[in-house]
A and B are shown apart, each in its own frame.
Chain A
């Protein structure tokens, strides 16, 4: 079966597209054996992520069942999740510079 997007773990709130997905595409996703339906609202390129649940600003984005960063604004189900709305918590010399 050809998969269009993959959800790695049950705790994840994003899916990874494994082909280009156009806006308004209805995606049927396998989340740990359960099928869910998500309408993608933006164009998602190969390898990029979209939200499979609403993610409020300040909440962690989960992939592989682990946090991969913090949502910088409210992200609605179906929206692209990437560097424009997701920030890392690690290696942030711009926020917590080490005393030199």
Chain B
């Protein structure tokens, strides 16, 4: 089976053709936004990082920024730095160039350009050339087996584990049957369900890792000295009827379908295997999306019961409502209604196939709501303090 994608010279295929403006540091956010505001057809990210970071924490931020530049959904990149930051824009640009030497890339340093106005002008000048080039590229038939799906549930309610997540599980299985890859993430929301996923591990090493990753996550929560409840599940989850993290996790895991777990990878590491992959991310929605996109996922299917609007700046984010009341109430932000499972009008299989069809259309260019409405949520996990 094929979809229409953008073939990159590194061999990968994209489902979008973005010109992306990336600030290397929080101090360059305004300029990155200014460039994007001037040039229709660009998108940008903003973040709070890039200075006074050390070691693995700095490496993680760098990895995420570079991976957004090298992402196959991105045609060209403008990297913006202030000039005195830890996370030098030159290094981010070099990281992107090393992996993707053919991608249009422009480096803009605010202090070298002579201030923010001149930096915005320089960036906009480069970006508008890139948009012109991007607009000439045509989509070509590409095999579905090249697609990587990121799965997510956020703003969960008690229906998440009954309707939308099992249906997303069906769609995940369909993509894996077609030869593609599926990311399961949000480690926190697997606490209490680790035995179920470990039983599907492809080998004993991966099974052991399932328990190790959960233990580390749970120990980190316990080190705060309080009950996790209130942080996980969240107040909204609790209002929606979810009582404990175990209950949330057991509903959460359905979205991973039924296929064997091939591997567990760290946050924002590239997905290189086919089949089901667990990426160790926080349960915080935007940090999770950002990590999965950095790992190379082309698009995200995001189930929600309470209602969330978010979306990645470069990976189309498809929203699946767990109940019909939410779908009707937040229609502007929802793409698929899985509430028909609750009302008995459709089976889990039927909704799963609808989600898969939506994924295929989005891969070929259909815009989900979060993309139409311009959501460009971006948040990088931190593992060290700001100094």
B223 touches A46 (CB 8 A): no
Smallest CB separation, B109 vs chain A (Å): 42
A1 to B161 alpha-carbon distance, docked (Å): 20
Interface centre among A47, A69, A97 (most CB of B within 10 A): A47
Smallest CB separation, A54 vs chain B (Å): 18
Is B193 among interface residues, defined by CB-CB distance under 8 A?
A: yes
Smallest CB separation, B61 vs chain A (Å): 26
Residue of A nearest to B344 (CB): A1
A90 touches B218 (CB 8 A): yes
Contacts of B191 in A (CB 8 A): 90-91
A86 to B244 alpha-carbon distance, docked (Å): 8
Write the A21-41 contact mask toward B (1 if CB under 8 angstroms, else 0): 000000000000000000000
Q: Size of chain A's interface in residues, with CB distance under 8 A? A: 37
A45 touches B241 (CB 8 A): yes
Write the A42-86 contact mask toward B (1 if CB under 8 angstroms, else 0): 000111110000000000010110111100000000000111001
Is B270 among interface residues, defined by CB-CB distance under 8 A?
A: no
Contacts of B377 in A (CB 8 A): none
- Given contacts A64-B161, A91-B227, are A97 and B222 in contact (CB under 8 A)? yes
Neighbour of B250 across the interface among A46, A64, A94, A95, CB < 8 A: A64
Contacts of B238 in A (CB 8 A): 82-83
Is B245 among interface residues, defined by CB-CB distance under 8 A?
A: yes
Is B229 among interface residues, defined by CB-CB distance under 8 A?
A: yes
Residue of B nearest to A88 (CB): B244
A81 to B157 alpha-carbon distance, docked (Å): 15
B227 touches A49 (CB 8 A): no
Write the A1-37 contact mask toward B (1 if CB under 8 angstroms, else 0): 1110010100000001110000000000000000000
Smallest CB separation, A47 vs chain B (Å): 3
Offer 15 A-B interface pairs, CB within 8 angstroms, sorted by A.
A3-B344, A8-B162, A46-B158, A49-B241, A82-B241, A83-B243, A86-B244, A88-B244, A90-B246, A91-B191, A91-B228, A91-B232, A92-B227, A93-B223, A94-B225
In the A-B complex, the 4 residue pairs with the smallest Cβ-Cβ separation, listed nearest first, are: A91-B228, A47-B241, A47-B158, A88-B244
